[in-house]
Structure 1
């Protein structure tokens, strides 16, 4: 187990949940964030924990958080804006890094730009060890294992059943703006390439209904091919949008054209973030009516489904907090670099960790 577990962004919605899970497991994490008042109040509520001020806009304060034996958990989003200092701090320290990012643009940057430096420093970076996209990586790996050597493609679909705008934290809503206007990617023909958001729409059978979903970039595009060498294609889909799936696909075509105009993307991001800030978010522990449902299908080169896996669990925030609390206490067995959870822990151990966080395969 690590000498210290530092939770950066501890006073945010997800950060507080993770810190509380660690305390419940008998761990005393170090809390880090911008607000001294909020940090000290949270540290007192959780039993007199150590805390320290750190700000992504002052990178030296983030670099001072960790040393080689530590684990740095980052929940500071939107990650495209604020996430890199923590990842770079982990690389500089040669420590383990875990984040909750669901932002394709940030995920791709870590895999493409920091894998080499992390390998050289001995750091192990685990991006998106959360509902999106760790749960889909597990579902995809289980389907591929069941399908065997004939699998050439895997499709993953995410559905948070019962979720609505007010069930999303402020940080999640702001990150979703970046996901909407940012670049996306997919693993096609044996390589990761840039694609537009919602390029594809397909349906999965979930909870007795056929439900549409739109394609997005995800950590699975990197994590699954690293373990399953025969893969030629990975598709990740976000569901729960109903008839809006087709509208979003059409809108992405228009958005791609508009974003070519000077300053269009930062302007869209600016106003989008302000618009979502007007929607109320949940209080801690109040999203229990939301159910996570993740489907993965492994297919052969001709498109025939060889295996199907469906995982069901608690709401995404609950699952994420429990999974990260589990992972932060485990030794990462994978080689240094930017890792998916299967490479980091092995399939059987990671499946056990996800099960302990409430995510289990349906019969």
Structure 2
């Protein structure tokens, strides 16, 4: 490995998982953040890692610590508020970039705003390179390829097993709450569009049972149309809590109406506050071991009542454990010069389907059965 890996956000929950995964691979990243004391303590606890104090909202400050071919890994969110300067710094310096966002609107902006510059400088930029949304990209690609030329629609569902509510981080609960009032991008009739989050509910086959999931955002709708031009429709769903899918659809309709009324935002925040209840931080090693991630991709012709052309099921570790492993793996690959395409790209374009599938298998994410 010839390039430096700069990890921004290592003192946070997700950043700590990425750091652990890098150290297990024998890689010693440079830690970066704004809290000098916390950085010093973390660096010392892990054998004296290099560390630098930076302001994540200041692109110039970040650029001073980056060179062409370095890898900038960031877990600092909310990304719509704190992520733009980080992405700009990578694109301008030619440093490769990986983030943990689940905010598809942010990914879309990064692609539109920095994609061209990243191609010019040689930066491989991989937003949302974790549980959000690498498993769905992999399953969707496999399903679309199996379906062949007849494929027109792709539905992707994210599920989990185990005592999930205790196994969700505070950040995830907050993101889920905020997402109810944000539109979800979809790909419909060969065009990008937006729908109300949870405006649709769909059932998927999961471990021999039918489970409901509600419509959400997903970067699959941004990247897969380029790989499969025949696709007319791509929709992503979340089924973490199948029994709540239809109630959440009703809640989404109510809060989206309420938030547009004068004074509606404070009331909306109050009504959705229970969605954030739970312990601070995130699940520890024991809790993560009790939950598993499960992703389904269904490819079809789109004709009403027609059976699926292909259906791919992937199962793997906890969403958080998987995110840490995926980001660490990608950082090491990019630092060694293994990225295949500069610009803001998806995981398959960046590394190739076979390499990505094999790597996910080594992390425990693979076909069911």
Residue 137 of structure 2: aligned partner: 137
**Most deviating of 269-278 and 326-335:** 269-278
Residues 79 and 103, structure 1, Cα contact 8 Å, conserved in 2: yes
Gaps of at least 5 residues in structure 2 are none
Take 2:4 and 2:126, find their aligned partners in 1: how far apart are those partners?
Answer: 17
Question: Is the contact between residue 110 and residue 338 of structure 1 (CA under 8 Å) also seen in structure 2?
Answer: yes
Which residue matches 1:344? 350
The aligned length equals: 363
Name 1:21's counterpart in structure 2. 21
Cα deviation, residue 183, structure 1: 2.6
Give 1:282 shift. 3.4
Residue pair 2:129, 2:327 contacting (<8 A) in 1 also: yes
* In structure 1, distance between residues paired with 2:347 and 2:141: 10
Q: Provide the residue aligned with 1:170 in structure 2.
A: 170
Q: Do residues 44 (structure 1) and 44 (structure 2) align? A: yes
Q: Report Cα offsets for 1:134-167 as digits up to 9, x if no partner.
A: 1110011111111111111111110121243332
CA spacing shift, 1:41–1:274, aligned 2, 3 Å: farther
Counterpart residue number, 1:198: 198
In the superposition, relative to structure 1, how do residues 354 and 73 fare at CA in structure 2: closer, same or farther (>3 Å)? Answer: same
Quick one: distance in 2 between partners of 1:50 and 1:167? 32
Worse-matched range after superposition: 346-355 or 254-263: 254-263
**CA distance in 2: counterparts of 1:346 and 1:205, whole angstroms:** 28
Structure 1 counterpart SS, 2:226: helix
C-alpha distance in 2, partners of 1:323/1:101? 13
Match of 2:156 in 1: 156
Q: C-alpha root-mean-square deviation of aligned residues, in Å?
A: 2.3
Say whether residues 1:306 and 2:301 are aligned partners: no
Contact 2:258 2:268 in 1 (8 A): no
TM-score (norm 2): 0.91
2:361 to 340, 347, 355: 355
Q: Deviations over 1:223-268 (max 9, x none)?
A: 2112112111111100022221111112222222223235755885
CA contact (8 A) 1:2 1:71 kept: no
Q: Sort the Cα spacing of 1:156 and 1:339 in 2 relative to 1 into closer, same or farther, 3 A.
A: same
Q: Deviations over 1:331-357 (max 9, x none)?
A: 354332211101111111111111122
Query: In the alignment, what sits opposite 2:291?
Result: 290
By how many angstroms is 1:170 displaced? 2.9
Task: Kindly indicate whether residue 326 of structure 2 is the aligned counterpart of residue 320 of structure 1.
Answer: no
Q: Which runs of 4+ in 1 moved over 4 A?
A: 262-275
Cα displacement (A) at 1:73: 0.8
**What are the equivalent positions in structure 2 for 1:1-363 lying under 5 Å apart?**
1=1, 3-261=3-261, 264=264, 276=276, 279-286=279-286, 287-302=288-303, 303-330=306-333, 331-363=337-369
TM-score normalized with structure 1 length: 0.93
Cα 1:275–1:161 change in 2 (3 A) is closer
- Aligned equivalents of 2:29, 2:270: Cα separation in 1: 34
Structure 1, residues 2-26: CA drift from partner, whole Å, max 9, x if none? 5111111011111111111111111
Cα contact 2:13–2:281 (8 A) shared by 1: no
Is the CA contact (8 Å cut-off) linking 1:111 and 1:222 kept in structure 2? no
Preserved CA contact (<8 Å) 1:174 1:277: no
